Amino acid sequence: MKYKAAYELIDAGLIKANLGFPPSEALKKEFFNAKVQEVGLRANKKKNSETFTTSATNSYTFTNTDVTSRIFKVQLDTSIVPFVSEKRYIENLDESKIDNIGYFYKETVSGPEGSPRTITKKLFLTKDPEAGKSLVVSYYASPTAYSDNDSHIDLPEQLIPSVLHYTLGHFLALDGQLQMASGHRGLARDMELEYTATINTREAKPDIIPLPLQDFL
């Protein structure tokens, strides 16, 4: 579905709801587009990856625009790099005391107040790797952002009605129509859960062997 069609459905629903205030086009778009991102990250398992060539550093800045913190695999050449909490990372520690290499993800927000903020997303390794190696980071990606009304919503078709109902519920709640708002939100959640359950039943369920706890430092 295109954004234009979704906005038209929202307009039709809001006209029927007979709101006591006229919601602006910008406000409707802002909320709907935000919900597309939220539901997409929560319910849809869209995968992507970014590949780096290692150098004499332990930090790597992502350039993909759909990167999220939901990283499910980091591979350094033929080895899997395990996650380690940033709390356990000690900067400038003698690397000879680090037995195993691990990774963590970090976002840094910069920019003056009142201006658009810049979010820098980085992957950190707990020690510098050998230079010239392939570092592949696989993650669950965010939906492609809105570009114009003729662009397609980057969600499975089954999830789009959920976002529409979340949006209608939001504006009904602002208007004080709490019972109607609750109904739309409940329907949205049910649709989202139904989609998630359907996807989960299609996925293979391999035996999971718990890995022993490892001390990386």
CA dihedral 55, 58, 61, 64 (to 10 degrees): 80
Inter-residue contact 103 to 127 (CB < 8 Å): no
Q: What is the pLDDT of residues 137-195, one digit of tens each?
A: 999 999 999 999 999 999 999 999 999 999 999 999 999 999 999 999 999 999 999 99
Does pLDDT of 91 surpass 70?
Answer: no
SS3 53: strand
Does pLDDT of 211 surpass 60?
Answer: no
Whole-angstrom Cα distance, residue 174 to residue 31? 13
Whole-angstrom Cα distance, residue 92 to residue 170? 48
